[in-house]
Amino acid sequence: MSNMAAWLAALATVAILMAYEVALTFGHRRRPGRLARTAHAVLREEWFDAVSAQKGSEILAVQTLRNSLMSATMTASTAVLGLMGTVTLVAPSLRANFGDAPGAPGFTSRLALELALMALLFASLASSVMAVRYYNHAGFIAAMPVDSEARHGWSNAGRVYVRRAGILYSWGLRHLMLVAPILASVVHPAAGPVAALGVVAVLLSFDRFQNNEGRDAGALGQETTEGEGTVPKTPSRRIRT
């Protein structure tokens, strides 16, 4: 495959993924209640409210958060292993393209894809590590006795933490899925657009939220935007992130 064809295939792969993410962003602004990320963020908040209202649920809440923390840890471990392998792959290409050796081939489409692969893995690692951080904080709050004054003081912070942790965890998984078409394009440029279309089809099914019986999607759309958490109803303690 010629250099121009390789660049076109690489750009097509990235363009397909970016077009879907941009379309998803606009869809989230118009109808947030129809997207799984919004619905699941509300689910986590309502779960925290439910366990906070049930006396004796502290152990169950901590176990649930521990399971979520372990899932985020596994995602972070996968990302860091992939990142180490990608750095090993990219380093010789960087030396070959930008070294002092005469006749260096210059910036190629393969090198660009390798750098994009490294960026996706780093983003997955960072998101997963931050999710672990928030799950860890939420675990301490959930372990407090439900009827204690400290639990009431930190309740709003707990709701924000479980929401943010879930969103960051989903970002980590999403970046790992986006690695697949980039990696396919590194193996063969023509495989990149095909793999990108396949990943978009999978993500499309994952990103749709099927309403539960009696659950109003419009109510979900009234929640705050992702990443910011819900606004505390009563100011209690300053939340440091």
Q: Note the pLDDT tens digit of each residue in 177-194.
A: 999 999 999 889 889 999
Dihedral angle over CA of 221, 227, 232, 236, nearest 10: 170
CA dist 83 and 125 (Å) reads: 9
Predicted confidence (pLDDT) at residue 230 exceeds the cutoff of 70: no
102 in any annotated domain:
no
Q: Which domain holds residue 130?
A: 3-95+108-210
What percent of the chain lies above the pLDDT cut of 90?
A: 54
206 in any annotated domain:
yes
Q: CA Rg, the chain, in Å?
A: 22
Cα–Cα separations (whole angstroms), residue 129 to 85, 114, 167, 229: 19, 23, 12, 18
229 in any annotated domain:
no
Helices (H), the chain: 3-30, 36-53, 58-98, 109-143, 149-187, 191-207, 217-221
219 in any annotated domain:
no
240 in any annotated domain:
no
Mean pLDDT of 35-50: 88
Q: What is the pLDDT of residue 201?
A: 92
201 in any annotated domain:
yes
Q: What is the pLDDT of residue 213?
A: 52
Q: What is the pLDDT of residue 110?
A: 85
Predicted confidence (pLDDT) at residue 67 exceeds the cutoff of 70: yes
Token pair, residue 7, equals 């660049």
178 in any annotated domain:
yes
Phi–psi pair at 231, nearest 5 degrees = -80, 125
More confident residue, 161 or 212: 161
Phi–psi pair at 120, nearest 5 degrees = -65, -45
* pLDDT, tens only, 150-167: 999 999 999 999 999 999
* pLDDT, tens only, 1-40: 678 888 899 999 999 999 999 988 887 777 766 788 888 8
Nearest alpha carbon to residue 62 among 24, 70, 22: 70
129 in any annotated domain:
yes
Q: What does pTM read for this prediction?
A: 0.79
More confident residue, 98 or 91: 91
Domain count, the chain: 1
Mean pLDDT of 102-125: 83
